[in-house]
Amino acid sequence: MRLTLKLTTYFKMLLLIIGICSLFLLLFLSLYLYVGQQEKDVFKVNSNQYKTEVSKLFDFNSKTQVVTINDLTYWDSLVKFTKTKDTVWYNTHIVNEFPTYEVDYIAIYGLDKKNIAHTSNPNFKSNNFIPVQAMMHLYKKKFSKFYMRIPEGVVEVFGGTIHASNDPKKVKSKPAGYMFMARILNQKYFKNLEDMCSSKIKFLDKKVIPHNIGNKKVTSIIELRDADNLVVTKLFFERPSHLNFEKTKELLLIIVIATLISLISAIHYFRKWVYKPLKLVTTILESDREISIYQLKKEPGEFGYIGNLFEDHRKNRSQLEKSKEKAEESDKLKSTFLANLSHEIRTPMNAIIGFSDLLLDEKLSDEFKKKYLKIINSSGKSLVSIIEDLIEMSKIEAKQIAPKFKGVNIEKCLNELFNTLKVTIPDDKNIRFYQQESNFKLTNDILTDEIKLKQVIINLLTNAIKFTENGHVAFGYSVFSDQKFLEFRVEDTGIGIVKKDLNVIFDRFRRVEDDYSISLSGLGLGLSISKAYVEMLGGEITVESVFGGGSVFKFTIPLRYDVTVHEDDESLPIMAFNDTEGKTILVAEDDNINFLLLKTILQKKKHTVLRAKNGQEVVDINASNPNIDLIFMDIKMPVMDGYEAFEIIKKETPERIVIAQTAHSSAEVKERILKAGFSGYITKPLDKEKIFELINKTFQNNVIS
């Protein structure tokens, strides 16, 4: 009887164990399938996001060429060229600028669809391959982008109809012709696009690879269509999806086996190890709550790993959203900056070219000639200022600029700036310009970079004067000895800045756009450069402003006194020196126009001018002509640069006076020139008064020494 009871009990326990095991098997099988489904869903979301990202980045990769052709096709000179077919103009304005357009081929067609001119890279042999049908479509659309196969490979073609600059783009007016740009989809093109979207890219003509999760990669296909909207080829994008659910599946299988072996222990810990994590997974899938992911990560075993996967997915999605926003913002900023740059450069260039053309009129009076020449000179200086800002910003971005600390007399520095800037205020502005009293007079020199400090103050004062019509512009400094810093202050009663713009005015290529500021020139780099300089000096810059009520800019620099002992050199007598004339001057210049300008300037003082076209010629002429009094040495020359030529000349004729001339105006270049031993330097564009002053000073110092 007892044996029967024991067998019955054992059988019931066996049935219970089998039932519980079946239940757990069913449970873990469901979990296994559920995780597999989640793997597919997550992969599908990543795949869709990837397709959207690829599409946007693919279009963004062509933005530069789109902006360029839209700019060029609304150019009066290009309209004129379609009629005159002036090859000199074409070579000067298209061929010479061809490398900057970042394309492999440029062609201009007349309205009769016949090729007028074309330019291409040496490895681009095809010509006149644009189909007539493409021009017919372009005539209606004014702009098109399509793809073609040519012997060199697949090319991306941008087309635009040519119009006058005053022709509104929305009016369907008759164009003067057609302009096409093309670039080969070569290794360089793919490398750039692959870097942008972190993907592998290849042509996909026949075999289509399905979108699956077996290879753990997300893919996207972009069709490249010709002018008739027919598919030419396809681009296949592929990137690892970083999804790894295999370990999760393996762990689930281990759990199933462990459950069969340790059923009783599994029942005891079921609620703790299974129920709670599953609830968290469900909560995450339904609401994507961050706190649930954090709690799931803390769970032991496979559920913590699933939490890491969910966290990785969340981070990837967040990163994709940030990348999208960054790409869109960069696209917008780049387009805006390019448009602004084009406008800012064309404005002074228009004045230079336009008034130069008017000067050719033989009947023009001397009064108008002087007026036009002043405008050309002013526009040239504006153009140089724009280029210098661009170069300076590029050097800052490349971290090629470092501060040069030395002792600076702050009082003297600010007085010089005041005297320099007060004469620049336009007469039509009712502005009171003055210096504010400091809370403490500095008697010792401060250790800082004087050039960069002055540039920051000049930038802030120039802006203040520009945006102020009535009231005052003032500047000064305060000393905070206990905190060991100086605070400089520039305030004005100008138009002020809207509150929403205060956070972006120090950003690169940003400008506050309103009815007043739009009428003023500038690339929006002045405040960015100032901020970079202040941070180099170890300080911070801030702004307070009320729209319509003026602005106050403040920046700080560390308060460090210069302990270097300076001894005044009173051994040199003060000598009067008249204008230097009748000297023999050797000009080392490889550019014909620059040489002609410098020669004309020097001949006004009756100097005899010799010329060398490269560094080697300078050395040879100097060695064969002992009567040379002075050498103007261009730093950048073929065969041998100015530094090499200078070293040889100084070894052969140590007494020879050599002045450097360079197109670079940065403090680093000037310091290198003077450290090399040159007697002086001039920067381009050349100023005749500065040249005469430098020659007089150089010969005077030479006589004294």
pLDDT score of 179? 94
Q: Using 50, 70 and 90 to split pLDDT, how confident is the model at 518? A: very low
Q: What is the mean pLDDT of the chain?
A: 80
Q: How far is it between the farthest Cα atoms of the chain?
A: 140
The fold adopted by the segment(s) 323-397 is Helix Hairpins (1.10.287)
User: Which is the CATH superfamily of the domain at 406-558?
Assistant: Histidine kinase-like ATPase, C-terminal domain (3.30.565.10)
* Residues whose CB falls within 8 Å of the CB of residue 17, separated by 6 or more in sequence, listed in order: 263
pLDDT score of 213? 43
Instruction: Give the range among 415-419, 569-573, 579-583, 602-606 with minimum mean pLDDT.
Output: 569-573
Report whether 227 contacts 137 (CB < 8 A).
Answer: yes
Higher pLDDT, 492 or 174: 492
pLDDT score of 570? 42
Report whether 477 contacts 486 (CB < 8 A).
Answer: yes
**What is the average pLDDT across 616-644?**
90
- Kindly tell me the sign of the dihedral angle through the C-alpha atoms of 666, 667, 671, 674: positive
User: Which is the CATH superfamily of the domain at 584-704?
Assistant: Response regulator (3.40.50.2300)
Under DSSP, is residue 333 helix (H, G, I), strand (E, B) or coil? Answer: helix
Under DSSP, is residue 652 helix (H, G, I), strand (E, B) or coil? Answer: helix
pLDDT score of 556? 94
Length of the chain: 705
**What is the average pLDDT across 310-330?**
76
Of 683, 51, 576, which Cα lies nearest the Cα of 324? 51
| Per-residue exposure over 609-635, b if at least 16 CB sit within 10 Å of its own CB, e if not | bbbbbbbbbbbebbeeeeebbbbbbbb
Assign 3-state DSSP to the chain and report helix, strand, coil percentages, each to 5.
50, 20, 30
CA atoms within 13 A on the CB side of 74: 18
What separation in angstroms does the CA of 489 have from each of 473, 529, 555, 556?
A: 11, 17, 7, 9
Per-residue pLDDT tens over the stretch 360-387: 887 888 888 788 787 777 667 666 666 7
Per-residue pLDDT tens over the stretch 3-36: 343 334 445 545 666 677 777 677 777 776 776 7
Would the pLDDT of 157 be above 90? yes
**What is the average pLDDT across 110-114?**
91
Which amino acid, one-letter code, is at 535? E
pLDDT score of 3? 36
Of 318, 259, 319, which Cα lies nearest the Cα of 288? 318
Would the pLDDT of 490 be above 80? yes
CA distance 413 to 479: 16
pLDDT score of 664? 72
pLDDT score of 145? 92
pLDDT score of 23? 75
* Residues whose CB falls within 8 Å of the CB of residue 144, separated by 6 or more in sequence, listed in order: 134, 137, 138, 158, 159, 160, 227
pLDDT score of 705? 47
Would the pLDDT of 286 be above 60? yes
Higher pLDDT, 543 or 699: 543
Per-domain residue ranges of the chain: 323-397, 406-558, 584-704
% of the chain with per-residue pLDDT over 90: 21
Cis amide bond preceding 685, omega within 30: yes
**What is the average pLDDT across 230-241?**
88
pLDDT score of 304? 77
